[in-house]
Amino acid sequence: MMFVQRKGCLGLFIAIALLVAVPLVWRSAIKAHYRPATYTRTDSPARSVAVVFGAAVYNGRLSPVLRDRVDTAVALYLNGQVERIIMSGGQVSAQRDEPATMKAYAVAQGVDAAAIITDHGGQRTYDTCYRARYVYDVRDAILVTQAFHLPRALLTCDGLGVNTIGVVADQQPYRSAHWYEMRETIATVVAAWDIFRRQPPALIETAGQRSDWAMQLAGDD
């Protein structure tokens, strides 16, 4: 009986170890794979479009993480490294409208409003990448987000058919950096499943509903 109990405990221990190890190994592999495609805003090659992933907005103001993302995209635009910017995120309320707040901030920094599209369907990284490819016909893009998020973003967009490079938006230490890393370990595994399933996100327009900006973008490819 004791032998059976020990064997059961060993099996449980192995199962737990695998559950912990597999996501860690997978994330490490993805980070290594996409490291050559990761740049800073000063050494990034030019692309026609930058995709900026949303994050928290508080009372109409960008969180530090999101402000750094938008600042990075603004710098790319002003330096002539991108011609257009997709601001993608969600909208909880008028005071927590990520894309609109991102656009207003970027325009105040000197970006032409006509060069920005606000994508309110980017509730998740997968949604942003899916919509970039299948709604806005983006084939090549610079992804703008923090280093902890870039490997998953690159994996997802790449898996959905967008040829991407990433630009690191980190401009300061973040208080929740350790939590972000833990979250990304699991989220990177989920991203592989999302790519495999390739389900349209909840908010998805047809080609006939695209904006003139998006149609022009498709014509440039």
pLDDT for 176 = 80
Number of folded domains that form the chain? 1
Report which residue type is found at 105: Y
Tell whether 12 is covered by a domain.
no
Tell whether 14 is covered by a domain.
no
pLDDT for 188 = 92
Tell whether 3 is covered by a domain.
no
Structure-model confidence comparison of residues 221 and 61, the more confident one: 61
- 73: tokens are 């995209």
Give me the count of residues in the chain: 221
How much is the pTM?
A: 0.85
Q: What is the rounded distance in angstroms from the CA atom of residue 20 to the CA atom of residue 120?
A: 34
Tell whether 189 is covered by a domain.
yes
Q: Tens digit of pLDDT for each residue in 200-219?
A: 887 655 444 454 455 555 44
Q: What is the rounded distance in angstroms from the CA atom of residue 173 to the CA atom of residue 220?
A: 38
Residue 68 phi, psi dihedral angles, 5° rounding: -65, -35
Residue 117 phi, psi dihedral angles, 5° rounding: -115, 135
Residue 92 has pLDDT above 80, yes or no: no
pLDDT for 13 = 47
Tell whether 74 is covered by a domain.
yes
pLDDT for 208 = 43
H/E stretch holding 102 reads helix 98-108
Q: Which residue range forms the structural domain that includes residue 112?
A: 21-220
Q: What is the largest CA-CA distance in the chain?
A: 74
Q: Tens digit of pLDDT for each residue in 162-183?
A: 999 999 999 999 888 788 888 9
Cβ atoms of 125 and 156 within 8 Å: the answer is: yes
Q: Which residues contact 113 (CB under 8 A, 6 or more apart)?
A: 103, 107
Tell whether 2 is covered by a domain.
no
Structure-model confidence comparison of residues 16 and 110, the more confident one: 110
Tell whether 16 is covered by a domain.
no
In this structure, what DSSP letter does residue 140 have? E
Tell whether 9 is covered by a domain.
no
Residue 19 has pLDDT above 90, yes or no: no
User: Taking the CA of residue 1 as centre, how many other CA atoms within 13 Å lie in the half-sphere pointing to its CB?
Assistant: 0
